[in-house]
Structure 1
Amino acid sequence: MLWRLLASAIGVLLLFAGPFGAQAQPAAAPPPVAAFGQLPTISDIAVSPDGQHWAGLIGTPTGTQIQVRRTSDGELIAVTGAEKSKLRAIQWVGNGHLVITITTTGRVIDLADTSKREWTMLMALDLNGDRRWRQLLGNLENAMNVSAGPAVSLVIDGEPVLVVPVIRFVEHVGALSLAQVRMKTGAARVTDVGNPETVDWLVGSNGRPAARADYEPGTGLWTLHARQGDRMVKVHAEKALVDLPNLVSFGRDAGTALLSRKVDGEWSDYLVTLATGAMSGPEASLAGNEVLIDRASRTVIGTRSTSLEAETYTMFDPVDQRLLRGLVKAFPGEVVRLESWSDDRQVLIVSVEGAENGASLFLINRAKGTADALALRYAGLPPDLIAPVTTLTYKAADGPAIPAYLTLPRGRPAKGLPLIVLAHGGPASRDMPGFDWWAQALASRGYAVLQPQFRGSSGFGSAHLEAGFGEWGRKMQSDLSDGVRHLVAAGTVDKGRVCIVGASYGGYAAMAGVTLETGVYRCASAVAGVSDLRRMLGSDARDAGTSRSASVRYWQRFMGAKGPSDDSIDAWSPARLAHKVMVPLQLIHGKDDTVVPIAQSRMMLDAMKAAGKAVDWLEMAGEDHWLSRPATRIAMLEAQIAFLNTHNPPN
C-alpha cells in the first residue's frame, strides 16, 4: 500500500492510495483509549457542486479544523483551525463559498425563556476572496443571529445564496421565518415571515418558499400551506397530537411536496400537488428510511433504507443505480454509505465499514473510472485493530424478536466472555450497522459488547417501535436483560461478569438495570441519564410553556403517564429507588447538557448518598449532551473503562 502524508500547519490528515486492508497485521496490544475517544479524522465531508474540491471537518487532538482539498490530487487548498468551536456540519454554496454550522451553549437574557440552550450559528468562507471567515445573520432586523434549522444552498441567477430559517420577532413574539444571505457580500434580509405556529418551510430553487407547515400544540392541528401565485394557500390539514406529519422535501419534481404521514398506524410517504392540494399515496417508490435530495433541483433522486446488517440505496436514474450496485459488489460484506456527491454525480465520496477496510472513506470518480481510498475515519485505527461485529436476533421473554449487534474482542474465543450491555439513546432511535466508536473502545479492552435494539427502537418497523409505548422501564428494560440471558445460554458470556452502560435514554437504562432489576448486572455506568421521569416531564412542560405540547404527549406515551404530575411513574424512576442499588454505580454528565440537564444525574447522586450508597461521579465542565469535545469524550471513556476494569475485570 502506498501511504501519502499531507501535512498542514495545524494538523495532519493521512491519505491512502489503496485498499485499507492490504497491510493489516496482527496487533500485539490494543490501541490507546484516546484513539477511540478522539473526534473522527473526518466527521463531515462535502463535495463541491462541480466536483473539483471537497471540504471536510477534520478532527485534531484539541478540536476540529476545516480543510479544503482538490479532488484530482488531494492538494490542500485551504485550512482553518477551530479548536474551541463545536463544528457540526459543512456545506457548499456554489463552488466558491463554504458555510459551517457551529453550536454554542448559553442563555439569552432578553428572552422570556432564559434557560440554557444549544444555539446554532453560521460562519462563511469565500475561497475566491480574502479567505477570512465571517459570521452570518448578524445584520438581521428584529431577528436573532442564529439559525433555526437546516440552511438551503442555492445559486440564483448565477449568484450563490443561502436561505436560512431564523426566529424573527413581531411584537415580542417569535416566528419561524426565512432569511436570504447573499454570499458575495454577506448581506442578509428576512424575506418571508411566519407566524407563532409555523414549524417548517419548503424552499424552492428560486429561494422562495413553496410550502409552509403550521402546528397548533393545544388542538394538535397541523396545516400545510402551498404557494399559489403570490399567496400561501392552505391545501391540507390533519390532527396529530403526537405524530406530526413531516414536510420532507419536493417530490420527484418541483410541483409536488413530499409528506411523511402516519396513517392507519404506519408511516408512509405521500405527494401533495402544490397547485391544487391533491394528495396521492402511499408512494411505494419513495419507501425507505431516508430520501436523497438533488442539491440543484431540490427534488428526490433516490432512497436509502437501513436494515440490521446494511444500507440499501435505490436510485431513480438507472446509471446511478448501476454505480451503487457496483460499489456494493466492490466491498462485499461491508457497509457502504453515500456521504456526498457533485451535482452531476460524477464525483462521489462513500464511507466503507467492515473487516477489510475498517472505517474508511473512498473517493469515486466515474469519469476516470477510479475508486481511491481517501482516509481512515479514525487515525490510529486501521482494519486490524477493529473488533468484529456480528448481528443476531433473540427472543424476549414474552415472545417478540429483538435484533441486536454483538461486538467481540479480537483474539479471544467467543466463550465465557465478560459482557457490557451498551444501551442506545432515544429511546426511539437505533444503533447502525458498521463502526461504533464506543462499542469498539470497550471491545478493545477485552469485553463482548451487546447493543440490543429493544422494543421502542426506531428503524425496525412501526410495530417494533410502538411495542415500546408504555413500556419505559418495563419491557423496554427487560429486553436488555433478555439479551444477556440469551448470550449466557449460548455460552458466549459469563453470567457473573456482566455490566450495563449507556448515554441519554441508555443512561436511564443503565441506572434502571441496577434499580429495577437485581442479579443481572454487577455494575452500571450511566452517561447523561434521566433518573426521575416525573421531573423530566415537568421540565419539558415548562420549556414548552404548556403540558399540552406534542413533546410532552410524546414522552407520556412512552412512559405510560397520564400527565406531568402522574406519580405512578415514580415506580420506574431510579432516583426514587436508589436504596435498591446493591452494586457499584458510576454517574457521568456534562455541565452544559441542554437535552438532559445535569440536574437529573445530581438527583441520582443525592439519592444514592441519602441511601448511604457509594457512587462514582464525573462532572465534565463545558461538555454538552453529545460529548462534542475530544478531551471530555476521552475523559469519559477513560473513567468508564477504569470503573469497569475495577468492578468487572476483563481478564
Structure 2
Amino acid sequence: MFKSFGVAVAACIALTSSPVLAADKKSDLAIYGQLPNIETVRISPDGSKLAVVLTNSEQRYLMIREVGGEALTRVAVGQTKLRSITWAGEDHLILVVSQTEEVRGLMGPAREYYMASDFNWKTKKLVPLLRNQEDSMNVIVGAPMVRTIDGEPIVFLEGIHFVDNRGVNTLYRVNLRNNTTRMLDYGARADADDWLVDATGEPAAQSVYDGKRGRWSLRMKLNGAWRTVDEADTPMGSYGIAGFGRDGKSVLVSRADDKGNDFLREYSGVDQHTDLPSDLSGLIYDPATLALLGGATLKGDELTYTFFDAGSQKTWNAVVKAFQGDRVSLVSWSKDRKRVVVQVDSAEMGPAYALVDLNTKQASWLGEVYQGVTADQVSPVRAIKYKAADGLEISGYLTLPKGRDPKNLPLIVLPHGGPEGRDEPGFDWWSQAVASRGYAVLQPNFRGSEGFGWDFVKAGFGEWGKKMQTDLSDGVRDLAKQGIIDPKRVCVVGASYGGYAALAGATLDRGVYRCAVSVAGPADLRKFLLTNIRVNNGEAGASQRYWLRFMGADGAKDPDLTAISPAQQAAKVDIPILLIHGKDDTVVRYDQSQAMADALKKAGKPVQFVTLDGEDHWLSRSATRLKMLTETVAFIEKHNPPE
C-alpha cells in the first residue's frame, strides 16, 4: 500500500523547543530520565488537527496544530499531572488531571483524585467540570465519554454524589456549548462502579459491584427499564464494562471462566449473549459508531492487531508493513479512520510518533518520544528464556550495553511491578539508561506475570518472596552459565513490587546481589495490608484478596507474613540498600520505605533513603523521575562498578 517508509515520510517536524542534550561516551541520563518529550498525540475527529502533550525538564505544554501545518495554539500546563486528553468535537478538548489530596470530611488517608476540564482551544478558556454540583465532589471515577448529539459535543462523566454521607458513583451529562450539567439515572444502584452511554446520549448499561461479597452484576436498560442481565462471583474485583459490542448496541464485558481464562461476552438482553475469542485485550472501537472493531494483544513478543472486518485488517497490515518491521501501535484516528496516529518503536532508534494518511498513502514523522536519544544511545534488546529451578520456563528481556562484548558483564536485575504485570519488548527508558552505563539489564517475567496464560499466573499464588523471587536469581545463574555476565557483579533494582523484590533479594534470597535499590517497594506486608483496609474504610475488599492470593496468607494479621516481609528480616541484610520513595505515593505509602529504613538502622545495616517530594507512585514529574534515576545509577556505580 505504501512505498517504503523512508521514501514516503516527510521531513521530521520538531514539536518542542527543548535543546537536544549532547551525548558523550556516556549519554546524559536526562535524555532517558526526564519525562517523554512527547507524552501523547490525539487527532481531531475530522482529521485536520493534532493535540500534542509536550514536556521539557520543567513543565508540560499542550499544543494544537494543523495536520501538516502551523501551530494553532500552545498553552503551558506547568507541573500539573495531565493524565489524558480527549477531543470533544473540533473546538474542545477534555483534559483529565490528577492530584494527591487528603479531603477534609472523608475517612482514610490521602488519595489520588482525578478531575476533568473542558479546554476550548479557540477561546483558550479552561472550564473545570462537575464543579458546584450539590452534594457532589468535583472528581471523576471513569474515563470521559464523548457523544455528538444534534451536532453538539456532549460529555458524560462518572462522578461522586453523596447520599446519607456515602459517595455513590453517579452519571453526569455536560453540555459544553452552554456549560450546563445535570445528573442522570441517579439512584440506580449504590454500588455502581461503571456506566456506558450509547450514541444517542442515553445510559445503556451499568456495572454494579458488592465489594464485601465479591459479587458483580451487569444491568442494561431494556425497553426503558433497568434489568439485571448477568451476575457472577468476582472476589478479585469487578468486571466493569468494556464498551459496546460488534453491532454498536450490545454491551461488551471482559470476563473470566471458572478456570481463570479471559474471554469477551456480548450482551444484548436477559439470557442473550455471545462469547468472542479470548485473544483480544487492547480493544479497538469505531470512533463514529462506537462498535467493537477488534483488538490488540501481545502474543509472546509480537504485538498483533486483529480486526473482525477483513478490509480493516488488510488496511492495518499495510500500515504495519510500511514501517519495515518496527513495532507499530495504534494511538488515535480520525472519525472516518482515514488518518491514523501511530507510535513506531524502532529497535535501532527508539520510539517516535507518525501520522499515516490512508487517502494519500503517505506517512510523516511527528517527532521522537525521547528527544535526544539517537541510534548511538539505544542498546540492543533480546528476548530470552530460561528454566527456573523447578523446571518452569521463564521468559524476559536482556538489554546489552551497546558496543561491549557480551561476556562477563556486570548485571542489573530489573523486575517489573504488579506483581501481575509484565515486561514487554521495545524501548524501556529505565533499562536503556542503566545499559548506557555499561551494564547488562535482565527484565524477567517471573511466575505470576500476565500474558502467558492463567496457569502461569496461578503458579505465582502463594509464591510472593519465594519462587517468584528465585525466578529472578535463576535468571542470573542462567546468564552466568552462558558467560554473558559475571555472577560476582550483580545488583537488583525495582519499583513497586519490583522494589519489594529488590528488598527480598537482600533479605530472603541472599548471596546473589552486591546491592539493592527499592523504589516505592512494600517492606512491611502486614502494615501494607492494614493500610489498604484503612483506605477502603475498614473493609477488606477485592484489592486485599488480590494481594493475599499472591502472598499466600489468610489475612493482614497472618504470622506467615513476617517471614516474607523485608522490614522484619532486616537483620539478615549484608549488602548496601538504597530506598527511594515519593512522598505523595497513595499506592505503596511512603511509610513502607520509612519502616524499612528504621529497621535497617536498628539492625546496624547500611542504608540510604531518598525522598521524592511531591512525587506519586508513577514517577509523574520530570525532575523527581530524573532524580530517582540519577540516585540509582550513582548507587550501583559505587557498589557494583561497571568497569
Could you state the TM-score of these two structures normalised by the residue count of structure 1? 0.94
Contact 1:254 1:297 in 2 (8 A): yes
Is the 8 Å Cα contact of residues 247 and 260 (structure 1) preserved in structure 2?
A: yes
- Aligned residue number for residue 228 of structure 2: 234
Counterpart for residue 114 of structure 2: 120
1:137 match: 130
Alignment pair present for 1:201 and 2:195: yes
Residues 8-157 of structure 1 mapped to structure 2, 5 A cutoff:
11-12=17-18, 29-71=25-67, 73-111=68-106, 113-128=107-122, 130-157=123-150
Distance across 1 between alignment mates of 2:328 and 2:454: 25
**Unaligned ranges ≥5, structure 2:** 1-5
CA distance in 2, matches of 1:5, 1:311: 27
* Matching of residues 249-648 of structure 1 within 5 Å: 249-281=243-275, 283-284=276-277, 287-648=279-640
Contact 1:579 1:611 (C-alpha < 8 Å) held by counterparts: yes
Q: 1:406 to 1:239 in 2, by over 3 A?
A: same
Q: Percent identity?
A: 42
Root-mean-square deviation (Å): 1.8
Structure 1, unpaired ranges of 5+: 15-25
User: Are 1:181 and 2:174 counterparts?
Assistant: yes
Residues of 2 paired with 1:466 and 1:546: CA distance?
28
Change beyond 3 A, Cα 1:466–1:401? same
Task: Name the CA distance, whole Å, in 2 between partners of 1:277 and 1:90.
Answer: 37
Give the Cα separation in 2 of the matches to 1:173 and 1:199: 14
Counterpart secondary structure, 1:632: helix
Cα deviations across residues 580-601 of structure 1 (Å, max 9, x unaligned)? 1101100000100011000000
Count, aligned residues:
633
Report the CA distance between 1:195 and its aligned residue: 3.1
Aligned-residue offset at 1:328: 2.6
Change (3 A) 1:649 1:581: same
Structure 1 equivalent of residue 151 of structure 2: 158
Q: Is the 8 A contact 2:32 2:370 kept in 1?
A: yes
Contact 2:60 2:77 in 1 (8 A): yes
Q: Which stretch shifts more, 271-280 or 596-605?
A: 271-280
CA–CA separation in structure 2 for the residues paired with 1:208 and 1:462? 37
Equivalents in 2 of 1:382, 1:324: separation in Å?
28
With over 3 angstroms needed to count, the CA separation of the structure-2 counterparts of 1:321 and 1:523, relative to structure 1, is: same
Query: C-alpha separation between the residues in 2 aligned to 1:534 and 1:27?
Result: 46
Q: Give distance in 2, aligned partners of 1:568 and 1:226.
A: 44
1: CA distance between counterparts of 2:637 and 2:156? 50
What is the DSSP-based 3-state SS (H/G/I as helix, E as strand, rest coil) of the residue aligned with 1:247?
Answer: coil
Superposed CA deviations along residues 450-480 of structure 1, whole A, max 9, x for unmatched, are 0000011111211111111111001100001
Q: Which amino acid aligns with 2:154?
A: V
- 8 Å contact kept, 1:420–1:500: yes
Q: Is the 8 A contact 2:396 2:444 kept in 1?
A: yes
Change (3 A) 1:480 1:156: same
SS of match in other structure, 1:577: helix
Q: Deviations over 1:582-626 (max 9, x none)?
A: 011000001000110000000000000000112011011111111
- CA distance in structure 2 between the partners assigned to 1:331 and 1:263 by the alignment: 38
Equivalents in 2 of 1:634, 1:74: separation in Å? 33
1:327 CA drift (Å): 2.7
Residue pair 1:547, 1:564 contacting (<8 A) in 2 also = no
Displacement of 1:45 in angstroms is 1.4
Q: 1:138-177: per-residue Cα shift (whole Å, max 9, x none)?
A: 1322211111111111111111111111011112211101
Supply the distance in 2 between the matched residues of 1:270 and 1:502 (Cα, whole angstroms): 33
What is the match of residue 3 of structure 2?
none
Specify whether residues 149 and 243 from structure 1 end up closer, same or farther in structure 2 by C-alpha distance, changes over 3 A only. closer
User: Does the 8 A contact of 1:470 with 1:560 survive in 2?
Assistant: yes
Aligned pair in 2 of structure 1 residues 149, 88: CA closer, same or farther (>3 Å)? same
Change (3 A) 1:31 1:177: same
- Give the partner amino acid of 1:434: G
Counterparts of 2:28 and 2:43, CA distance in 1: 32
